[in-house]
Amino acid sequence: MNLSKALAILAAGTLASGCAFAQLTMTGAGATFPYPIYSRWFDEYAKVDPTVRFNYQSIGSGGGQKQIVAQTVDFGATDGPMNDASLAKAPGKILHIPMVAGAVVLSYNLPGNPALKLDGPTVANIFLGKITKWNDPAIAGQNPGVKLPESDIIVVHRTDGSGTTYIFTDYLSKVSAEWKTEIGTNTAVRWPAGLGGKGNEGVSGQIQQTPGTFGYIELIYAAQNKMAVAQIKNAAGNYISPSTETVTAALSAADVPEDFRFSITNSTGTGAYPISGVTWLLVYQKQENADKGKKLVEFLRWALTRGADLARALDYAPLPDALRDRVLKRVSEIQSGG
Burial class (CB in 10 A: 0-12, 13-18, 19+), 5: exposed
Distance separating alpha carbons of residues 131 and 124, to the nearest angstrom: 9
Q: Does residue 224 belong to the site contacting another protein (CB under 8 A)?
A: no
Burial class (CB in 10 A: 0-12, 13-18, 19+), 85: exposed
Q: Does residue 63 belong to the site contacting another protein (CB under 8 A)?
A: yes
Q: Does residue 38 belong to the site contacting another protein (CB under 8 A)?
A: no
Q: Does residue 328 belong to the site contacting another protein (CB under 8 A)?
A: no
* CB of 238 vs another protein, minimal distance in Å: 30
Q: Does residue 81 belong to the site contacting another protein (CB under 8 A)?
A: no
Closer of 202 and 274 to another protein (Cβ): 202
Closer of 2 and 209 to another protein (Cβ): 209
Closer of 202 and 242 to another protein (Cβ): 202
Closer of 217 and 240 to another protein (Cβ): 217
* CB of 157 vs another protein, minimal distance in Å: 9
Asked if 273 contacts 222 with a C-beta cutoff of 8 angstroms, the reply is no
Across 178-326, where does the E strand assignment appear?
195-197, 213-218, 228-229, 231-233, 239-240, 276-284, 286-287, 317-318
Q: Of residues 35, 108, 191, 216, which one binds another protein by CB under 8 A?
A: 191
Q: Hey, CA dihedral for 92, 38, 252, 330, is it positive or negative? A: positive
* CB of 130 vs another protein, minimal distance in Å: 17
Q: Of residues 28, 36, 197, 293, which one binds another protein by CB under 8 A?
A: 197
Distance separating alpha carbons of residues 95 and 258, to the nearest angstrom: 10
Q: Does residue 202 belong to the site contacting another protein (CB under 8 A)?
A: yes
Closer of 109 and 248 to another protein (Cβ): 109
* CB of 64 vs another protein, minimal distance in Å: 10
Asked if 216 contacts 106 with a C-beta cutoff of 8 angstroms, the reply is yes
Q: Of residues 28, 194, 242, 277, which one binds another protein by CB under 8 A?
A: 194
Distance separating alpha carbons of residues 87 and 3, to the nearest angstrom: 60
* CB of 62 vs another protein, minimal distance in Å: 4
Q: Does residue 46 belong to the site contacting another protein (CB under 8 A)?
A: no
* CB of 129 vs another protein, minimal distance in Å: 12
End-to-end CA distance of the chain: 50
Distance separating alpha carbons of residues 173 and 265, to the nearest angstrom: 10
Phi, psi of 139 (to 5 degrees): -85, -45
Q: Which residues bind another protein (CB under 8 A)?
A: 32, 59-63, 66, 152, 154, 159-163, 169, 183-191, 194-198, 202, 205-206, 209-210
